[in-house]
Amino acid sequence: MAEKRRGQAAAGEVSQGRAASYEHGEGAAAEVAADLFDGIKEMVVTNLMPSTVWALEFTQHAFPTISNVGILAAEAQFWRLGDERMRHVLEDISHQTPVERGDGHLPAVRAKGKTGRLNSATELAAIFDECVMPAHLAHRTRESYQFYWKCVITWAIAHGETESILPMSQTTLKAITQELMMIGCATGTIRNVWSAIEDRHRRFGYALPLGMQGDFTRMSKAVASVQGQPSRLIFPVGTHHVRALLELAGLTDTQTRDMLMCVLGTVCCLRVSEVSQLQMCDLMWSHDAAWHPQYNNTLAVRVYKRKQDQARKGLYPRVGEGVAVRLRSFAERMDLEETEECTKKRSPGARCRSCPPVFPHITAGARTAKPVSRQQVTRAVINSLKLIGVDPTHYSGLSMRRGGISAALVARVPEPILFLQSGHGSNCAARNYMVPRDPHILYETYLAFGL
């Protein structure tokens, strides 16, 4: 009996020594998340100087995040990191470099404050690291990493752990992850935070917290297995939608522009940003006619810069006569054409500085108008579907690319051919879009029974 009581006492001590108690129920979880959200902001304010607190700006995000982290350089807790390490923690990596802003035209690079013409090897390497090397990641990817790194900085201030985030141990990474989960962040958000942490470590030469082979995957599986990785339901623009859109008549110029954006973006498997960047010199009319006359009145589309073609080797999705003729008619009505000053021929990897956009921001005075924004492309998809009586609740700009790839999947287009249209560099990346949202293919197993 004495041994049994001692065992029960020991078990009680272990239970009391646990870091947390567990309650099931959505209400309890929501209460913890709300309390954490307020607690983090409160501790951030407590741990910073009043002069900094007055200038703080927080983003609207599931995790309270300081948006203007540059002001933190005045804080003693960051001074203790030393100049170099503080710069590594607070540096904004999201800006386009001067070379990137040249948009394919390399700007002149001159030695600063030197009477000699030549930079030293060290200076040249520093220029390369600062202005060229960041381009191994797409600009939007760097913007995303910068945002999620701000989450890490905010967490570190709240917990008094600013000296632990760069370099970061796996213990600190697990602590951040646990709090992200408790506050209600999705699995995708957590993975984005990890990617931002790893990018920051690689960029400045620190050992990765998930440096062992398979660490990232194992932790990711653990998080996803306990909370899932749901994504918003987004339907593709289907082949039946495209046919219905092309049959529309009596459209205004703006409606025609929106319809053509939706159709071209779908059949070419384009991203929203790729649609907005198209210029008239990117449309190569009857490009393949020299090979065979049947390709008269068709179209090849030069996509300026794709995520899987950072080197800009050039990807030319093809469009048949049914769409090409409608697009050409719209361009002629809007007085949109390639200019004599077009720079594509001598700089095919760069943006043209003179040709108008294919889809102008406004249709009145389209020739001199700026291109549509990404938001306008997304609205064009939604507005176009409304014209054919479709409820757009589960559609977005992503529906175009998802629709083109799904249609090719249903039609059993060979993957290497599909990748030439979609611009994908690997099977894995493409299959993320190949989730067969089109219900037709989802019935094929059932139909195999002959029922």
Residue 59 CB contacts under 8 Å (≥ 6 apart), including other chains: 65, 66, 67, 147, 150
User: How far is the C-alpha of 239 from the C-alpha of 404, rounded, in Å?
Assistant: 8
CB 93 within 8 A of CB 134: yes
CB 181 within 8 A of CB 215: no
What integer pLDDT is reported at residue 391 of this predicted model?
A: 95
pTM of the model: 0.76
Pair of tokens at residue 126 = 């520093």
What integer pLDDT is reported at residue 51 of this predicted model?
A: 92
Provide the CA 411 distance to its chain's centre, in angstroms. 28
- Burial of residue 251 (number of CB atoms within 10 Å: 0-12, 13-18, 19+): middle
What integer pLDDT is reported at residue 314 of this predicted model?
A: 65
What integer pLDDT is reported at residue 449 of this predicted model?
A: 52
Report the candidate in 228, 211, 105 with the shortest Cα–Cα distance to residue 167: 211
CATH 1.10.443.10 in the chain: give the residue spans: 239-342+349-442
CB 206 within 8 A of CB 167: yes
What integer pLDDT is reported at residue 105 of this predicted model?
A: 77
Pair of tokens at residue 32 = 């913890």
User: How far is the C-alpha of 288 from the C-alpha of 319, rounded, in Å?
Assistant: 11
What integer pLDDT is reported at residue 312 of this predicted model?
A: 66
Report the candidate in 163, 133, 135, 145 with the shortest Cα–Cα distance to residue 47: 163
List phi, psi (to 5°) of 443.
-95, 0
DSSP calls for 253-316? HHHHHHHHHHHHHHHTT--HHHHHH-BGGGEEETTTTTT-GGGTT-EEE-BS-BTTBTT---B-
What integer pLDDT is reported at residue 227 of this predicted model?
A: 85
Domain 239-342+349-442 has CATH 1.10.443.10: yes
Which pLDDT tens digits describe the chain residue by residue (451 residues)? 444 444 444 444 444 456 778 888 888 989 999 999 999 999 999 999 999 999 999 998 889 999 999 999 999 999 999 999 999 999 999 999 988 888 777 888 887 777 667 788 998 998 899 899 998 888 889 999 999 999 999 999 999 999 999 999 999 999 999 999 999 999 999 999 999 999 999 999 999 999 888 999 999 999 999 988 777 788 999 999 999 999 999 999 999 999 999 999 999 889 999 999 999 999 999 988 888 888 898 988 888 777 666 666 666 888 888 999 999 999 999 999 999 999 888 877 778 889 999 999 998 887 788 999 999 999 999 999 999 999 999 999 999 999 988 888 788 877 777 777 777 655 545 455 544 444 455 555 546 556 4
